[in-house]
C-alpha cells in the first residue's frame, strides 16, 4: 500500500506561497455541488482541483516571462510538522484550506497568509501506535463545510467560515482495526466519499459514503469480495484492501472511479491467499448515490508485490469520440479504459526499469512473465515497494494534450516470511516479509519527469532528476509546469519543451505541486514592485558545498524538531542521499515568517561545526 515511513523522511514541513500581490479577496462562500462541477478559474475546491483529476490551472498570469520573478509572499507554519506536510491545499474565494500532521486544519487568507481560523482535532492516544500516521493528504470543501477523515477513524465537518465543528462521526473502530483515514475525501452531490487504510492489515478495507448534511452513513463498499474462488479458505477475512487515496467523478455518467489497495499479506509465501483476491489492486466504477458497482478491472490479479491501484489520479478525458479513464498503477504501468464499461484500451510502462513482469498485454491486461518473490531466498524486484510512482499525482494539460508524470527508478530486495495474522487485541501489521531499498542494475537510483501522450504512452520529453521524487505536479494555461523534488528545489518547467524556466531552493522537500499557487492570484506582481520585505530564496547549491541555513533558534520547539529530523536522516538508506549537502545551523536573527523557507532539507547531513 505505502512504503515504510522511514523511506519518506523529509517532506515539506511548511506551506510556502510564491505569490505577492493582487490576490483574490478572502470571503469564503458556499462551495456546493454546482460549484464543484463548474469550478471557477480562481478556485481549487478539491484534492485534484476538478472532478476529472487533471490538476490543471486555467490561469495564465504567471507565465514564462515573469515566473523568474517569483518570490516568497508569505509562509504559514502548521506547528506540528512530523513527517512533513503531505496535503494539497484547496482554495475557494481566496481562502486557502489545508490540513497538517495530526489532523490540524487551517483556513488562511490567500493574499496575506493571515490565519482566519484553525481546528486541532483531539485524537485518541491510540493514534501514536498506528502505522499510518501522523500525515493527512487533504480536506474536502462543499456545502459550506470543510470535511476530513481523522487518524482515529472519524469523519469531521467544520463550518467553512468559522471552523466550528458541525458534526463528527466515528466510522472505524481504530482501536480494533488499527486502520484510519489519511486520504482526502471527495464530495459528490450530497455525499462525501472516502476510503480507509488497510492494505497492510488483516482486516477487510472499505470505501465509505456519508451524507454531507449530518454525517450519517449512506453506503459502504467492501473491497474484499465474498467469493471462495477469489479468496481461498478463510484468507478473505484478513484480505486488507481499502481505498486510501482520492477518486475521480464523471457527472455525465454519474460514476465515481476509485482505486483499491493491495491485499494482505503483501507478500504471499505460497497459498497465503489463494485466488485473484478481488477487489484489491483494482479500479472500481461506483454509483455515488448507492455504492453499486458498475464495473471493475483488476490491474494486478493476486498482487504479489504491493502494487496497489489506490494511489494517484484517475484521469477522466475524451479522445477520438471515446470516453476514457487513464490510471497509473503503483507498478509503474499505466492502464487506459473505456470509462463507460471498464474495457481495457491500452497498457504501457512509465518506468524505465522493471522486472516484476516481462510485460503487460495492452489488449487484455494479462501479466506476462510474472516474477513474484517467494520463500527461500531474497528476490531482487523493480520497482520498489514505494512504486514506480507513489501517492503523488501527475497533471494533464488540455492545451498540450500531454500527461506530465514522475517516476522513481529504485529497486528492492524482498525477503518473504510466513506470518500469522494478528487480530487481538488489535490488528497487527501483516506484510508477510520485508524489503531493503536497492539501486537499479544500471546504476544509482534516480527520478524523472516525463511528458507523454496519456493514451498511447508516447514520450515527448524527459526531465531527469538526480534523486527520486515524490512531488506532485501542476500545469497551467501559460504552458508552465510546477513541481518539486527531494533535492529541495521548487521548479517551473516549460511544459512544451522541458526547459527549466525557474528554480528555487526551498531548503525543504516539496511533496505537493505548487500548492495550487495560481488559484489565488488575480494578477502577477514582481518582487521589485512589492512592498513586502522578504529575503530571496536560497541559490542553488552544488553537491558537497557547505550550505549555511539560518534558523531562528529562539522559536520554541524548532530546534528539537530539527535535531529529530537529522537523527532520522542518519537511519535512512544511503541511496536516498544522492544530493548530499553539509549544513551549518547558525544562530542569527531572522523574521519568524521566514523560518519555513530556511528549514533543513530532507536528505542532508549536519556539518560538524559549532552553532
Q: What is the Cα–Cα distance from 216 to 206, expressed in whole angstroms?
A: 16
Say if strands 191-195 and 204-211 run parallel, antiparallel, or are unpaired: antiparallel
For residue 603, CA distances in Å to 159, 277, 479, 507 come to: 38, 38, 31, 10
Closest CA to 240 of 211, 204, 269, 210: 204
Backbone CA torsion sign across 518, 251, 32, 106: negative
**Helix (H), strand (E) at residue 517:** none
Bridge partners of 204? 240
Give me the helices (H) in 407-510, please: none
- In angstroms, the CA 327 to CA 337 distance is 8
Render the burial of 498-536: b for 16+ CB within 10 Å, e for the rest. beebbebbbbbbbbbbbbbbbbbbbebbeeeebeeebee
Distance (Å, whole) CA 596 – CA 439: 32
Q: Which one is catalytic: 43, 306, 450, 479?
A: 306
Residue 190 annotated in active site: no
Q: Which residues contact 43 (CB under 8 A, 6 or more apart)?
A: 31, 35, 91, 92, 93, 519
Start-to-end CA distance of the chain, whole Å, equals: 41
DSSP result, 551-592: E-TTSTTHHHHHHHHHHHHTTS-GGG-TT--EEEEEE----G
Which residues belong to the active site?
306
Amino acid at each position: 500500500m505505502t512504503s515504510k515511513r522511514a523511506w519518506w523522511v523529509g517532506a515539506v514541513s511548511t506551506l510556502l506561497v510564491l505569490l505577492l500581490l493582487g490576490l483574490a479577496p478572502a470571503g469564503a462562500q458556499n462551495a456546493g455541488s454546482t460549484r464543484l462541477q463548474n469550478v471557477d478559474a480562481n478556485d481549487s475546491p478539491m484534492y485534484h482541483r476538478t472532478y476529472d483529476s487533471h490538476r490543471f490551472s486555467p490561469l495564465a498570469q504567471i507565465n514564462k516571462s515573469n515566473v523568474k520573478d517569483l518570490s516568497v509572499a508569505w509562509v504559514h507554519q502548521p506547528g506540528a510538522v512530523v513527517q512533513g506536510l503531505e496535503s494539497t491545499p484547496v482554495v475557494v474565494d481566496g481562502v486557502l484550506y489545508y490540513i497538517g500532521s495530526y489532523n490540524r486544519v487551517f483556513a488562511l487568507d490567500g493574499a496575506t497568509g493571515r490565519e482566519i481560523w484553525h481546528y486541532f482535532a483531539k485524537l485518541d492516544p491510540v493514534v501514536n501506535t498506528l502505522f499510518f500516521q501522523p500525515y493527512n493528504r487533504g480536506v474536502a470543501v462543499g456545502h459550506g463545510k470543510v470535511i476530513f477523515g481523522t487518524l482515529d477513524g472519524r469523519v469531521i465537518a467544520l463550518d467553512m467560515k468559522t471552523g466550528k465543528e458541525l458534526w463528527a462521526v466515528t466510522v472505524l473502530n481504530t482501536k480494533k482495526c488499527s486502520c484510519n483515514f489519511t486520504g482526502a475525501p471527495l464530495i459528490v452531490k450530497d455525499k462525501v466519499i472516502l476510503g480507509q487504510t488497510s492494505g497492510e492489515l488483516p482486516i477487510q478495507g472499505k470505501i465509505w459514503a456519508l451524507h454531507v448534511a449530518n454525517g450519517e452513513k449512506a453506503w459502504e463498499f467492501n473491497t474484499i469480495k465474498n467469493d471462495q474462488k477469489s479468496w481461498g479458505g478463510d484468507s478473505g477475512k484478513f484480505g486488507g484492501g481499502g481505498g486510501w487515496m482520492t477518486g475521480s467523478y464523471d457527472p455525465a455518467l454519474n460514476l465515481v472511479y476509485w482505486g483499491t489497495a493491495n491485499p494482505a499479506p503483501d507478500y504471499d509465501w505460497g497459498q497465503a491467499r489463494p485466488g485473484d483476491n478481488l477487489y484489491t489492486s483494482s479500479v472500481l466504477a461506483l454509483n455515488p448515490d448507492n455504492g453499486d458497482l458498475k464495473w471493475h478491472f483488476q490491474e494486478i490479479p493476486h498482487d504479489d508485490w504491493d502494487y496497489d491501484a489506490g494511489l494517484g489520479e484517475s484521469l477522466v478525458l475524451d479522445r477520438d469520440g471515446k470516453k476514457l479513464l487513464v490510471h497509473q498503477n503503483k507498478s509503474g504501468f499505466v492502464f487506459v479504459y473505456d470509462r463507460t464499461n471498464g474495457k481495457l484500451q491500452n497498457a504501457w510502462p512509465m518506468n524505465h526499469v522493471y522486472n516484476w513482469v516481462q510485460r503487460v498485454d495492452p489488449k487484455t491486461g494479462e501479466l506476462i512473465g510474472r516474477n513474484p518473490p517467494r520463500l527461500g531466498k531474497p528476490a531482487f524486484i523493480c520497482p520498489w515497494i514505494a512504486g514506480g510512482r507513489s501517492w503523488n499525482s501527475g497533471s494533464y494539460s488540455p492545451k498540450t494534450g500531454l500527461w506530465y508524470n514522475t517516476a522513481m527508478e529504485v529497486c528492492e530486495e524482498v525477503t518473504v516470511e510466513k506470518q500469522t495474522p494478528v487480530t487481538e487485541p488489535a490488528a497487527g501489521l501483516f506484510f508477510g516479509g520485508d524489503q531493503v531499498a536497492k539501486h537499479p542494475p544500471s546504476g544509482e537510483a534516480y527520478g524523472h519527469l516525463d511528458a507523454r501522450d496519456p493514451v498511447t504512452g508516447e514520450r515527448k520529453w524527459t526531465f531527469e532528476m538526480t534523486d527520486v521524487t515524490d512531488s506532485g505536479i501542476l500545469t497551467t494555461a501559460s504552458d508552465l509546469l510546477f513541481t518539486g523534488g527531494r533535492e529541495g528545489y521548487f521548479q517551473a518547467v516549460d511544459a512544451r519543451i522541458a526547459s527549466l524556466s525557474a528554480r528555487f531552493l526551498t531548503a525543504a522537500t516539496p511533496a505537493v505541486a505548487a500548492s495550487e499557487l495560481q488559484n489565488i492570484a488575480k494578477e502577477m506582481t514582481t518582487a521589485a514592485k512589492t512592498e513586502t520585505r522578504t529575503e530571496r530564496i536560497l541559490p542553488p547549491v552544488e553537491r558537497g558545498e557547505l550550505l549555511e541555513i539560518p534558523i531562528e533558534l529562539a522559536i520554541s520547539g524548532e530546534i528539537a524538531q530539527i535535531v529529530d529530523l537529522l537523527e532520522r536522516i542518519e537511519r535512512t538508506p544511503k541511496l536516498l542521499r544522492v544530493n548530499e549537502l553539509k549544513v551549518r545551523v547558525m544562530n542569527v536573527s531572522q523574521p519568524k515568517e521566514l523560518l519555513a523557507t530556511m528549514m533543513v532539507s530532507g536528505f542532508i547531513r549536519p556539518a560538524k561545526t559549532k552553532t
